Copies of this chain bind each other. A is one copy, B any other.
């Protein structure tokens, strides 16, 4: 009997050991290179049959990437070319380091919005932010600290996405109607819109609203059931943003009259490819040189929030498209970090995995990450040859593209799921949404995380403790089963629960012995141990003994090492009867002076 128990224990231990090994085994094997450069695994196996699907997919993604990049540059408050500068490096780098064939790394609406607050003055801030974010993401990846994003729960990410989408869409509402606006914030944008209603430019408003309606319709086109044109409608739907930009440019060019343009446009942009140079470690604003230290302190908390959000977005997309395989989050973070670091050399703003474009990549049937090369090449070509054309892109068209994308970024189903499954999870969701909208995105996500962490802390302070009563040989004993981990926050709770239990016993049913059982595999900390020793003293004044019953080595060790007395608390065995005999407990009552007790009681 004793043996079999030992066997079960060792069995358990082996299991635990195994899972520990899996996690901690970091020794360098021959596969290290292949892990670090996944391209070494798939490129040698590449064959010509894969070329066509990769090419088609890359092209389709490129047609979305270009208008999106330009649009997100305006969200970030940058000139359009910066969007394109950001859109190619990630594609190339991800080929080398990426593990998921579908992911497209580039500028996204959320990172654009997050960097926007710091761009006022100089685009150098965005570029430095890109470079530094890359360094931070790489470090977090190498240190395996990506697990930090686990503390951003689904309600918080959902709330954050929704708030970001609303903020971004609100920021474009002025552009959609041709109203001048300086802010991209939620409240400020709508204030500006309603106070400047008279300044609506009819041309821009018409173009914007019609483009938006057509975009929304084109999105639905692929769901049409005419199977004959299925391939055609699918590509129309996928390249709708490119078509909208094209239409906008054409319309603007054709209706222009000398210097007069029918719409407000993005304006002059530098032609050509971005120079490959060091990221701007200092910048000049209005003739004043801003040193590196000042730039970093201006970027401030963004240097934490942008990397975290980037990791979150990228890893989430990798998981969504992993099709049941394990996602190597560390490698994804290395790929993302390298993309941002090298992006910093080509004047990129912070980039991350884009859900839209990844989905397009996937549905276009990409076979390997090589599709990214086609996308990247297309962006480079646009930069080299089309910058003059981009001058004519109407702001209203970009606004329509952005708003059209944001409408579908809100995860309506997810919100419903959270509401249905657990109402209380709506609390961190609402905190995130409200703080994001009315304060800032950074504080919103921090607020949401804090609101959610209180759940964990509350739970840790109130573990489930089941106290039952037994009577053995006329001795009443209380059996305390702690069903969860004990830690310092629950130490006093345990003590007070036991004291209350003792106190609520009726006359003649005094508990003589408390048997404290904790779970296998859990340990305790010194606060718990000290509270248990103090509980033992308190109980002894009520003529009640305390025993820690069959504790595992880990937890028992803490009690044992603490105090010479600790030793006496720890008892092992199978039957309580034997324990009661050992402790020489009897049901006889030890009388004590009532009068004195009363005085002490006051």
Which residues of A are interface residues toward B (Cβ below 8 A)? Answer: 1, 4-13, 15-17, 19-20, 22, 38, 41-42, 45, 50, 101, 147, 150-151, 153-155, 319, 322-326, 367-369, 414, 417-418, 420-422, 424-425, 452-453, 455-457, 459-461, 464-468, 483-485, 487-493, 496-497, 499-500, 502-508, 510, 519-522, 525-527, 529-530, 534, 537-542, 558-559, 561-563, 589, 591-592, 594, 597-602
A8–B592 touching, CB < 8 Å: yes
Contact B484 A522 (CB under 8 A): yes
Smallest CB gap from A8: residue in B: B594
Contact B537 A324 (CB under 8 A): yes
Complex CA–CA separation, A537 to B594 (angstroms): 68
Chain B hits for A601, CB < 8 A:
12, 15, 325
13 other A-B residue contacts (CB within 8 Å) besides A20-B500, A154-B530: A10-B507, A15-B468, A16-B466, A150-B461, A150-B492, A325-B538, A326-B499, A367-B602, A421-B529, A425-B526, A456-B456, A456-B457, A460-B460
Selected A-B contacts with CB under 8 Å, 10 pairs: A9-B510, A11-B468, A16-B464, A38-B602, A41-B602, A150-B492, A151-B488, A417-B530, A460-B460, A483-B521
Chain B residue at minimum C-beta to C-beta distance from A529 = B421
CA distance A363 to B461 in the complex (A): 34
Which of chain B's residues have a CB closer than 8 A to the CB of A452?
Answer: 488
Q: Known contacts being A326-B503, A507-B13, is A421 close to B558, with CB within 8 Å?
A: yes
- Rounded to whole angstroms, the CA-CA distance of A542 and B16 in the bound complex is 11
The distance in angstroms between the C-alpha atoms of A154 and B530, with both chains bound, is: 8
Report whether A150 and B493 are in contact in the complex, using a CB–CB cutoff of 8 Å: yes
Give the Cβ gap from A569 to chain B, nearest Cβ, in Å.
13
> What chain B residues lie within 8 Å of A506 (beta carbons)?
13
Q: Across the interface, which residues of B come within 8 angstroms of A489, CB to CB?
A: 150-151, 153, 456
> Which of B326, B418, B491 sits near A496, CB closer than 8 Å?
B326
Residues of B within 8 A of A12 (CB): 466, 542, 597, 601
Q: Contacts A421-B558, A500-B20 known; A521 to B464 CB distance under 8 Å?
A: yes
In the bound complex, do residue B422 and residue A541 qualify as a contact, i.e. CB atoms below 8 Å apart? no
- CB pair B422–A529 under 8 Å, yes or no, is yes
Residues of B contacting A497 in the complex (Cβ-Cβ under 8 angstroms):
19
Q: Which of A7, A414, A456, A559 has the most CB of B within 10 A?
A: A456
Cα-based distance from A469 to B300 in the complex (angstroms): 50
